[in-house]
Amino acid sequence: MNELAIQIIATVVKFGVLVLGFALGLAGLLTWQERKQSSYMQDRIGPNRAAIMGIRLWGLPHFLADGIKMIFKEDVIPDNANKFLFHLAPILGLSMVLISLAMVPFGGTFNLFGADVPMIIAPISEGILLIFALSGLSIYGGVLAGYSSDNKLGLLGSMRTSAQMISYEVTLGLTLVGIFMVMGSVRLDEIAAMQGGGAWGVFLQPFGFLLFFAAGIAETKRAPFDLPEGESEIVGYFLEYSGMRFGMFMFGEFVEIVLLGMLLTTMFFGSYHVLPWVDVWTPVHAWLVQTLGNTTLAGLITAAGQFAVFATKVAFFCFIQLAVRWTLPRFRYDQVMRFGWLFLLPLSLLNLIVTAVVMLL
């Protein structure tokens, strides 16, 4: 087989594992996890009635039941809605997040079947910038949804979406500049690889981590920054959506949680590495090559191990995000804006300056 064919097949397999298998699977599980975790945090029981052949599994089949319900529900479109934009909005909202997953590394580079296969779907040099561009585009999902659905509250929600998302994207970008300065690269796969033998990002940029986390939660449009949705006041930009179109917005939100977990893991918590300052995978891989005498098999086993470590960390950060969502009370709208512009932004600039000064000295 020539190298191109291997790379194409490997990309398809990586897409299947990371996007279809891991990200979508985890996002689907998170719909169940959110209900179950919130209920345990509030001393309730949560969903436990859905069953497959009488097996309840602590309500785990609920996420299948929810999905089936979403698909078969009536899809109502308002008479005065702009049909084209109305159909376009949920697609924009979900697809941009899904594309972003391609730029996240989940393993090192291995020699498989005679080709160097990087464990990242799209190993392009501008990875993180593309993620920001896509997250900027995904704002249009929310904005167009409220704008096209001929509803005042929906329009209010979409205005809030645009204001909030743009405000927090500034902080999100600026905090990451600190990581880029420390690591000396904007490539996510290089940043991930560099944390193998060295310090993790959180030790180099502890302050940047907190700022990024806060701004990231705001970007996922969930409580305490759930103003665009505002379930308890205006129902938000997807007010007029029903059935699977609403399901796409909701699912996009959960994929965003997974994406934020992936970015946090990659940038600040050593991506697929087990321990900070200690490179575990290089000796393990070398030992496997020596023992098995087959680089492909050794590479696959090491990649699987790295992916498992990565997946565990991502799942942990999803858990933390859900815990934050069910603990903190929501902001008022002016508080969100003030927090973004007058608190997070100056602090992220300060973080940047301090990082620069320390690096110069």
Partner 1 sequence: MSENPKFKYMHLNRELDFWESLYLPEILRGMSVSLGHFMSNWPFFRREKTVTKEYPEEKFDTYYRTRGRHYLTRRSDGSITCVACQMCAMACPANVITIEAEEIEPYYTGRQKIDRRPKTFVIDQLTCIYCGFCVQACPEDAIRMDSGHPALAIHSREEAIVGRDLLLDMKNTKEGQHNIVFNPIPGKEPAQAPFTVLPTEDAQRREY
Residue pair 245/178 in contact by the 8 Å Cβ criterion: no
3-class DSSP assignment, residue 55: strand
Question: Rounded to the nearest whole angstrom, what is the least distance from the CB of residue 169 to partner 1 in the complex?
Answer: 21
Decide if residue 181 touches partner 1 (CB under 8 A). no
Q: 132, 203, 326, 333: which one contacts partner 1 (CB under 8 A)?
A: 326
Q: Report the amino acid identity of residue 9.
A: I
Q: 44, 152, 332, 338: which one contacts partner 1 (CB under 8 A)?
A: 44
User: What is the DSSP secondary structure assignment for residue 331, as one 8-state letter?
Assistant: P
Omega before 224 cis (within 30°)? yes
Question: Rounded to the nearest whole angstrom, what is the least distance from the CB of residue 39 to partner 1 in the complex?
Answer: 8
Beta bridge partners of 115: 112
Q: 324, 337, 349, 352: which one contacts partner 1 (CB under 8 A)?
A: 324
Decide if residue 328 touches partner 1 (CB under 8 A). yes
Question: Rounded to the nearest whole angstrom, what is the least distance from the CB of residue 195 to partner 1 in the complex?
Answer: 24
What CA–CA distance (Å, rounded) separates 305 from 296? 14
* Cα–Cα nearest to 233, from 167, 338, 156, 140: 156
Decide if residue 43 touches partner 1 (CB under 8 A). yes
Q: Rule CB under 8 A: which of 51-70 touch partner 1?
A: 58
Decide if residue 42 touches partner 1 (CB under 8 A). yes
Q: Report the amino acid identity of residue 282.
A: T
Decide if residue 41 touches partner 1 (CB under 8 A). yes
Look up residue 3 and give its two tokens: 């190298």
Distances (CA, A) of 105 to 113, 127, 307: 20, 10, 9
Decide if residue 287 touches partner 1 (CB under 8 A). no
Residue pair 90/245 in contact by the 8 Å Cβ criterion: yes
Q: Rule CB under 8 A: which of 213-252 touch partner 1?
A: none
Q: Which is nearer to partner 1, 210 or 301 (CB)?
A: 210
Q: Which is nearer to partner 1, 46 or 93 (CB)?
A: 46
Q: Roughly how many angstroms between the first and final C-alpha of the chain, as a whole number?
A: 52
Choose the binding region for partner 1 from 137-145, 178-186, 255-263, 320-328 (rule: CB under 8 A). 320-328
Question: Where do contacts with partner 1 occur on this chain (CB under 8 A)?
Answer: 37, 40-45, 48, 58, 210, 323-324, 326-328
